[in-house]
């Protein structure tokens, strides 16, 4: 079924209407509470601007971090409200609670075009409850903030793609209670992922990194049957190397996954490509001395922290003629300059392929952070996703509750 979008809602008219928006403001903070990567806030701006300029009375709900179902100053959305206000060029009020007295009072005081941000929705344990009745109760209280008795029909806009794979009150249950629409961000993300899964241009190259094979197992198994080449780097490559009978020193290793990796190599050995050289160091530290060794010669007392230059060269060759590229996960510890060359090299190869007409998608999470940390041009890729986990689950073929409920027409 077709999902109704923000354009459909704006066409109906939003002036004077209460609109509840679920955004994704789960941004990284430093030790002083400063936002280090505002990417997700920037991605939310088109939807919020359009609603505000259309005269809606906007109430935004979002989460930050993983508070344990209770208020925690460390996870307050105060820095987000400040950043959001600066980027929108207008005041964004922050309620001191989620659905309590302050949120109610502020919501009642909204005028056309105003934007109110509720405090971290995960401060309320019902948000992530496994009990549908508890989630439904919270959803009803959220709706109360925008639905004025006798007033114009309120609406719900889902614009937090990073959480659509969660069956949570502010993502899933509220959509059952209000006319619902996909925001600009969610609509764009779904369109991009549909393009990837519908078998776009060939050759189709997939680049996977990150630390654990177990986190990417389902997507490896699903995409290995669809991709022409599946490049594996990052910490997860060592479990594959071990599956080939190689010593990986003190590198990250999921011993319980070695047998699985051996099976994957046996079944998809013509598609899966592993590093041929590794940058190793005696310890996990930014100032640890790097040494490049063949993947077959990792010393027993060293750990791999990046792929080597020969691997970058080989992976670049695979990517050079790709027409579709999906990248999720860094090739090494890109946060340490001495171990960032692998991630940079592969990212630059994807940018070069994009410049030649390839459709490239960066699958959110650490990959998107790497693009910004390494100072790479964001417009060098066709699309940078805001939801790593959601992107992977979609590509695994899973149903995403936050998308399915938008399609339901309930």
Pick out the residues of the known binding site for ATP: 216, 304, 335, 364-367
Look at the block and give the residue holding tokens 């809606």. Answer: 56
The token duo for 229 is 């080449």
- Of the candidates 17, 18, 22, 40, the residue annotated as catalytic is 40
The token duo for 379 is 């417009």
The answer to whether 365 is a known catalytic residue is: yes
Q: What share of the chain is helix, strand, coil (3-state, %, to 5)?
A: 45, 15, 40
CB 61 within 8 A of CB 119: no
Smallest CA-to-CA distance from 345 within 410, 297, 292, 272 is with 292
Distance of CA 134 to the CA centre of its chain: 27
Whole-angstrom Cα distance, residue 136 to residue 131?
9
The answer to whether 85 is a known catalytic residue is: no
- Of the candidates 49, 87, 90, 212, the residue annotated as catalytic is 212
Look at the block and give the residue holding tokens 């020969």. Answer: 310
Binding site as annotated, residues: 24-26, 40, 63-66, 122, 166, 216, 304, 335, 364-367
The answer to whether 212 is a known catalytic residue is: yes
Question: Residue 48 belongs to what H/E stretch?
Answer: helix 39-53
- What single-letter DSSP state applies at residue 98? S
Kindly tell me the number of DSSP H helices and DSSP E strands found in the chain: 14, 15
Whole-angstrom Cα distance, residue 61 to residue 58?
10
Distance of CA 364 to the CA centre of its chain: 4
Whole-angstrom Cα distance, residue 171 to residue 155?
13
- Of the candidates 18, 209, 365, 402, the residue annotated as catalytic is 365
The answer to whether 313 is a known catalytic residue is: no
Binding site as annotated, residues for (2R)-3-phosphoglycerate: 40, 122, 166
Whole-angstrom Cα distance, residue 302 to residue 124?
45
Q: In what order do the strands lie in the sheet with 115-117?
A: 93-94, 115-117, 57-61, 18-22, 155-158, 180-182
Look at the block and give the residue holding tokens 């390494």. Answer: 374
Binding site as annotated, residues for substrate: 24-26, 40, 63-66, 122, 166
User: What are the catalytic residues?
Assistant: 40, 212, 365, 389
């Amino acid at each position: 079924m077709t999902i109704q979008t923000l354009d459909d809602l704006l066409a109906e008219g939003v002036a004077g209407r209460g609109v509840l928006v679920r955004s994704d403001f789960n941004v990284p903070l430093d030790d002083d509470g400063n936002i280090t990567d505002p990417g997700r806030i920037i991605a939310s701006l088109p939807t919020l601007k359009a609603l505000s300029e259309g005269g809606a009375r906007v109430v935004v709900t979002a989460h930050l971090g993983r508070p344990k179902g209770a208020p925690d100053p460390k996870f307050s959305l105060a820095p987000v409200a400040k950043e959001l206000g600066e980027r929108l060029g207008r005041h964004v009020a922050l309620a001191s609670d989620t659905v309590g007295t302050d949120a109610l009072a502020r919501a009642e005081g909204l005028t056309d075009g105003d934007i109110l941000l509720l405090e971290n929705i995960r401060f309320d344990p019902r948000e992530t409850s496994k009990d549908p009745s508890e989630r439904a109760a919270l959803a009803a209280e959220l709706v109360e903030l925008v639905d004025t008795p006798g007033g114009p029909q309120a609406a719900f806009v889902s614009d937090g793609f990073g959480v659509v794979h969660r069956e949570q009150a502010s993502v899933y249950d509220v959509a059952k209670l209000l006319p619902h629409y996909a925001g600009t961000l969610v609509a764009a993300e779904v369109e991009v992922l549909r393009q990837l899964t519908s078998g776009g241009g060939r050759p189709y190259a997939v680049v996977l990194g990150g630390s654990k094979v177990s986190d990417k197992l389902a997507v490896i198994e699903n995409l290995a049957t669809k991709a022409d080449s599946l490049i594996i780097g990052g910490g997860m490559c060592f479990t594959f190397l071990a599956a080939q009978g190689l010593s990986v020193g003190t590198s990250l290793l999921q011993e319980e996954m070695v047998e699985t990796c051996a099976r994957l190599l046996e079944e998809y050995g013509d598609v899966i490509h592993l590093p041929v050289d590794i940058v190793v160091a005696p310890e996990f530290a930014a100032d640890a001395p790097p040494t490049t060794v063949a993947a077959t010669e990792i010393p027993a007392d060293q750990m791999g922290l990046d792929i080597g230059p020969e691997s970058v060269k080989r992976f670049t060759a695979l990517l050079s003629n790709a027409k579709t590229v999906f990248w999720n996960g860094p090739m090494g510890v890109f946060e340490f300059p001495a171990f960032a060359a692998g991630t940079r090299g592969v990212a630059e190869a994807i940018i070069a392929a994009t410049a030649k007409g390839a459709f490239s998608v960066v699958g959110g999470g650490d990959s998107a952070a790497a693009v910004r940390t390494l100072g790479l041009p964001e417009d060098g890729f066709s699309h940078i996703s805001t939801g790593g986990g959601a992107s992977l689950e979609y590509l695994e073929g899973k149903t995403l509750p936050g998308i399915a409920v938008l399609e339901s027409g309930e």
